[in-house]
Amino acid sequence: MSYRVLFIGGSLNQTTQMHQIAQHLMGECECYFTPYYADGLIDWLARRGWLDFTILGGRFRRATLEYLHQHQLPIDERGQLHPYDLVVTCQDLLVPRNIRGRKIVLVQEGMTDPEGLLFYGVKYLGLPRWIASTAATGLSDAYTVFCVASEGYRQLFLRKGVRAEKLRVTGIPNFDNCEQYRHNDFPYHGYVLVATSDSRETLRYENRAAFLQYAARVAKGRPILVKLHPNERVERAAREVYHWLPGAVVFSSGNTNHMIANCEVLIARYSSVVYVGLALGKEVHSAFNLELLRQLLPWQNGGRSAEYIAEVCWDLLRERPVRTFFPPPSMPPQLPRRQFHPRKRVMHT
């Protein structure tokens, strides 16, 4: 019997995760792919470009479609061509009508946002999940199984109210084999790497001047490389870097993981890249509590997470009890580091 499975992408990170999972199902399943999509007013706004700063449009949608075409993957925009036996997605902030009631595997995409007032408004007042961004991941309860990065994240989602029977720790693709990034041809070594965020592009506050000044203090004269977030306004971000970090080398593209592997120190705010730094034993500075990050660190299982998630898919397709997976035998040691406090203000004279 042949099964049909729909994979919903989003950012390039989400889309590549979907592809890796699908590779373990192809041949026995008909696998189709679509960019992230919505219904109703949200869809109306997305089609008119008002939500291009989100995974519903703009460069995120273009990058997803480019990736799908480049890898010659079957595309079914919005999942309209076929009925599906299973849907796999990296986000449940919006659950389109045409997949509700179907078997859904939700896959954690990476780090989730802090739980602020909007998160509690979603949880206790019934506000739309999307207003809390990824802090509200998992709160839809519309999925059958939620595959998460580590036991630490399982505990985090339990505290948020996710049902225990729906959670499976599998690790997550793109963050489960960081050791491989040491083998690269990036020409620089021994620098302080500053990874910026797209907070401002996604309508969140960021004091970029404070962040860059903090990076300068950490560097203490050491060479600085700055990797801009792919969703940032490059000209503005580069201008700020050159003002606050004279002499820094700025990259608007390139393999961030390779840059992390070759650095001595990684400085970021709210970014999943800190997990790569922690897994590789780098000195890491983050807006998050680093002890918490070490507890949340995705399983380093040699790149088997996509295979494990595919096994969850098979259990659902064949109507078997969903299996439990066991952690890898060891995790890399970590060292305590200082934490960046993003709310500190800069005094201008």
Give all domains of the chain, ordered by start, each with its CATH number: 3-176+298-317 (3.40.50.2000), 178-295 (3.40.50.2000)
Beta strands 249-251; 167-169: pairing state:
unpaired
Inter-residue contact 134 to 116 (CB < 8 Å) = no
Q: How many CB atoms lie within 10 A of CB 198?
A: 18
State the pLDDT at residue 331. Answer: 54
Total number of residues shown for the chain: 349
Beta strands 3-8; 167-169: pairing state:
unpaired
pLDDT at 301 > cutoff 60:
yes
* Residues ≥6 apart with Cβ < 8 Å to 241: 194, 212, 226, 248, 250
- Taking only the tens place, the pLDDT of each residue in 50-83 is 999 899 999 899 999 999 999 999 999 999 999 9
* Residues ≥6 apart with Cβ < 8 Å to 101: none
Predicted confidence band of residue 203 (pLDDT cuts 50, 70, 90): low
How confident is the model over 133-143, as a mean pLDDT?
96
CA end-to-end distance (rounded Å), the chain:
72
Inter-residue contact 102 to 142 (CB < 8 Å) = no
Inter-residue contact 172 to 107 (CB < 8 Å) = yes
What's the whole-model pTM score? 0.88
- Taking only the tens place, the pLDDT of each residue in 249-288 is 999 999 999 999 999 999 998 788 999 999 999 999 998 8
pLDDT at 339 > cutoff 90:
no
Inter-residue contact 199 to 270 (CB < 8 Å) = yes
pLDDT at 335 > cutoff 70:
no
pLDDT at 87 > cutoff 70:
yes
pLDDT at 201 > cutoff 80:
no
How confident is the model over 87-114, as a mean pLDDT?
96
